[in-house]
Structure 1
C-alpha cells in the first residue's frame, strides 16, 4: 500500500468510460467561454466538479466584479462528480465514535458533533439549493437504509447511534436513526437474509446534473469556463509581497493571486507535496434494470449493504424520471485481494476491473433473493463505468490555505464521501478566502477544524490500507463509495 501511495497520479486520462449520468453530455460539456485563455484572473480554479462549480458560484455571489476562470482537463464535471453513485448519504454514525475517542480524539466530542452536523447540513443544503435554483438533477430527498449482514457491524452501529443520541440529543436531526430487527428488516426492505438495519435521512440525485447546474449559474455571473484544458504545472512568482501563481496549459498560461485546486484524486500532479497524502482510488458503478419483483417505479429508500469486510451502496431512480426504478449500485472493492489495494493509485477510468464488474452485475439478485424476481426482458445491465476518487492520509478532506504557499488554496480528498462534504467545504473555503474576522469566527462554529489544511496534517503520512479509511472505518469496514 505504501508503494501504491507513491504512484504519481498524472493528468486525468483522455479516454474515460462514459457514465450513466453523462449520456448524453450536457450542452456545456465542451464549453470554452472565450476562444483563448485570459492572461490573468482574480481567481483561477482547477477542476469543474461540484467543488469547483460551487467555489466559483460562491466567489461570484460575494464578489460580483471578480474575474473567475475554471480550468477542466476534460469535459465539464467529468471527474468523480460525473461518475458517482447518485447518493447524498452521510452514515455519520460510522465515524462518530472514532472522532470522539479514536485517533482524532484531540478534537473531542464537540468536533465529532460538528462533523455529523455538517454532513447532515450538506445533504439538506444540496437538495434545497437544487430546488431553489430549479436545477434539473432529479433531486430526491428520502430516507436511506443500511442493511446489515454482520453481527459485529450491527452491534457497533447500535453503540454508535446510542452515543450520538445521548450526546447530541434525540431531537437533533443529525442523530436521528431508526433501528430494525432482522424480521422487520427482511419484510420491510425485501432483503431475506439481513440481520438488521439502520434507517436515516439521505437522498439521491444526478450529481453530474447538479454540478452542471451550478456551472451554469456561475457562467451567468461571469465565470469563464475552459474545458479540455489540462493544467500541466503551477509555479509562483514571489518577487512582490503577494505571490502570483501561474498555471501552465497546452493552450498557454494564466496568472492569478488566488489559485484554487479542486482536483481531488489528481492533486499531487500539480502539488507534489500532496503525494501520499491524497491517493487516487479507482471505483466502479453499474446501472441495472430492476427485477420484476421490485417496485418498477423505484424503492422508497436508498440502500447500503453492509457485510463483514466491505459494502455496496445503491439507489433506485425516483418515480417520475424517464428511467424510474433503474438500480445504480457501486462498490465491490472488498472482493479483490488485500481489500482492493490494487485500486489505490490507479487512475485509468477508461477500464473496468473484471472481478468487481462480475460481482456488481450479480450482487443485487443475492441481496434481494426471490424478491428480485425475473430479470427485465431487455436484460439486466444498462451501463457500467469507473471513476477516480481521492483518499486522504487521515480520512478527512483537505480544505483551506496551503501552508507556506500564499495564494494557493485547496478543497480535495473527499474519500468517496464528496456528496456530503463538497458543498459546505466550498462555502467554507470561500469564507476563508474572502471573509472578515467576524466571518472567520462564525466559520469556526460550524466547519470542522480537523478538515482544515494544516502543517500538522501534512505530517500524517500514508502508511497503508487502514489510513485510507475515514475515521471509524476500522470498526465498520472499508469505504468504497464512488
Structure 2
C-alpha cells in the first residue's frame, strides 16, 4: 500500500477524514456506522465495494432488477458514503459544449458528441429518479451559467461552441449573453460573456443515504469501517474478498472505489490519479439572503485551469464555493499537494484565495469592505479525493481480464 501523500490510487481511504458540509448536516443517518464491528458473511452473490452514489446506485439497480437483497453485500472503508460523493460542491451540472474540442482530440468527434449528450442525459435521469422515488435530497432543477471572466476565455468558449455546432451538436438549450447583458444576468460586474443551460444541484450525502437506506430496507447488508484489502480468485468463477473482519466468497464484484480503485486493481494506477479537491460553505450576507438569493449555479472561469464553482442551497441559503485544483495563482507547494489521498484537512491558502476571489467576483457580497456580522461569511472548509483519468472519462463496465468483476470509477470530479 502506498503513502497517502504520494498521489497514488493504491491507497485505502484516509482513516481520519474531515467532515464536509454535507456530512455535518446528516449525522443522524441511522446506518452511518452500520455493522462496524460485525463479521462479514462467508459468501454473497454480489459484493459492491464502496458506498457512495455509484455503490449505492449499483446495489439499488441490482435489487430493482430482481436480485434478492440478501444476496448483496456493500463494503465501505469508513462511515457510510464517506468518500467523494459526500464531499463534492453540490452540482448536478452537465458540460453543454465546453469540453467538446478536448474530448475530440482524445476520442474523436463522434465519441465527443456522445460524451456531451451523456452529460445532458445524466441530468435528466437524476431529475426523473428523484421525482419517481420522491428522494428528499434537496434536488433543485435550475440553470447554470458558464461565466467568462477574460476575453481570452470568452474566445475559447466561442470556438468550442462553434466546433460543437459544426459537428452536429444540439445547442437549442444553450443561451448566450455578451458584455453588459452577461453582467446583468449573472450579477458579476466583471463578466465578459456568459452561457446558460439547464443544470441542477443537490445534497449529495442525502442522495447516497437514500440509496443505502432503500437497499438495506430490502435486505442488503452494509458493512462500514470494513475495507476490501485484497481480491483473489478461488475456483473457476468465484472470488475471495479479503477484509479485516473476514473473507467473503462472491460470484460478482463491483468496484465503486473511484480514486482508490488501483488498490485492488493495480493495473489502473497509471490511468487513475487521485486529486485532492476543496470546497467551502458560506453563510450569506443580506445581499445574498431572502429574495436576493442566487437562483442559478455557476462556473466562474478566468481560464480552463483557473475557475471557481458556486451554488446556493434552497433550504438554508448556504453558499457552496468550489475551487480549481490547478489555479495558477496558487503557490507551487499548494499545487503539488493536490496529488494526495489525504482528506483529513483543508488548505488555508486555497481557502483564502477562494474567499478573496469570491469577493472580487461578487463585490456586493460585502460592499466597500464592510464587515460581516458574526455568523456570516466562511462557515466551513473541507477536502475530498477525486479521480482523474488519462482520457478524461470514467471506467464503467465489465473487467474483461477478471471475469465476474466490474468497475464504476474514475469520474474526473464529475461523477453523478
When normalised by structure 1's length, the TM-score is 0.79
CA distance in 2, matches of 1:90, 1:165: 17
Alignment match of 1:230 (pick from 204, 227, 232): 227
Q: Secondary structure at the match of 2:62?
A: helix
| 2:261 paired with 1:267 | yes
Aligned to 1:387: 384
CA contact (8 A) 1:89 1:144 kept: yes
Q: Secondary structure at the match of 1:231?
A: coil
Deviation at 1:248, TM superposition (A): 0.8
| 2:38 paired with 1:45 | no
Aligned to 2:313: 317
CA distance in 2, matches of 1:188, 1:161: 20
CA contact (8 A) 2:343 2:384 kept: yes
Alignment match of 1:72 (pick from 63, 66, 76): 76
CA distance in 2, matches of 1:92, 1:337: 31
Deviation at 1:41, TM superposition (A): 0.8
Aligned to 2:290: 296
CA contact (8 A) 1:9 1:347 kept: no
CA contact (8 A) 2:9 2:261 kept: no
Q: Over aligned residue pairs, what C-alpha RMSD do you find? A: 2.1
CA distance in 2, matches of 1:217, 1:275: 33
Aligned to 1:97: 101
Superposed, which structure 2 residues align to 1:3-22 within 5 Å? Answer: 7=8, 9-22=10-23
**Which runs of 5 or more residues in structure 2 are unaligned?**
none
Deviation track 1:249-292 (CA, whole Å, cap 9, x = no partner) reads 11111111111110000111121111121111101110001232
Aligned to 2:301: 306
CA distance in 2, matches of 1:180, 1:77: 39
Deviation at 1:33, TM superposition (A): 9.4
Superposed, which structure 2 residues align to 1:26-425 within 5 Å? Answer: 26-32=29-35, 35-65=38-68, 67-100=71-104, 102-105=105-108, 108-109=109-110, 111-168=111-168, 172=170, 176-237=173-234, 239-240=235-236, 242=237, 244-296=238-290, 298-308=293-303, 309-318=305-314, 321=315, 323=316, 325-333=317-325, 334=327, 335-337=329-331, 341-370=335-364, 372-373=366-367, 374=370, 375-419=372-416
Question: In 2 relative to 1, CA 59–123 (structure 1 residues): closer, same or farther, beyond 3 Å?
Answer: same
CA distance in 2, matches of 1:278, 1:167: 29
Question: In 2 relative to 1, CA 265–233 (structure 1 residues): closer, same or farther, beyond 3 Å?
Answer: same
Q: Secondary structure at the match of 2:286?
A: coil
CA distance in 2, matches of 1:175, 1:349: 40
More off after superposition, 118-127 vs 70-79: 118-127
CA contact (8 A) 1:42 1:257 kept: yes
Deviation at 1:181, TM superposition (A): 0.7
CA contact (8 A) 1:43 1:69 kept: yes
Q: Secondary structure at the match of 2:164?
A: helix
When normalised by structure 2's length, the TM-score is 0.91
Question: In 2 relative to 1, CA 168–215 (structure 1 residues): closer, same or farther, beyond 3 Å?
Answer: farther
Higher helix fraction (1 or 2): 1
CA contact (8 A) 2:50 2:256 kept: yes
Q: Secondary structure at the match of 2:176?
A: strand
CA distance in 2, matches of 1:306, 1:68: 43
Question: In 2 relative to 1, CA 115–360 (structure 1 residues): closer, same or farther, beyond 3 Å?
Answer: same
Deviation at 1:310, TM superposition (A): 1.5
CA contact (8 A) 2:7 2:275 kept: no
Q: Secondary structure at the match of 2:106?
A: coil
Aligned to 1:453: none
Q: Secondary structure at the match of 2:16?
A: coil
Question: In 2 relative to 1, CA 287–182 (structure 1 residues): closer, same or farther, beyond 3 Å?
Answer: same
Deviation track 1:380-430 (CA, whole Å, cap 9, x = no partner) reads 1111111111111211101112231111111100000002xxxxxxxxxxx
CA distance in 2, matches of 1:405, 1:229: 23
Higher strand fraction (1 or 2): 2
Deviation at 1:32, TM superposition (A): 2.3
Q: Secondary structure at the match of 1:52?
A: helix
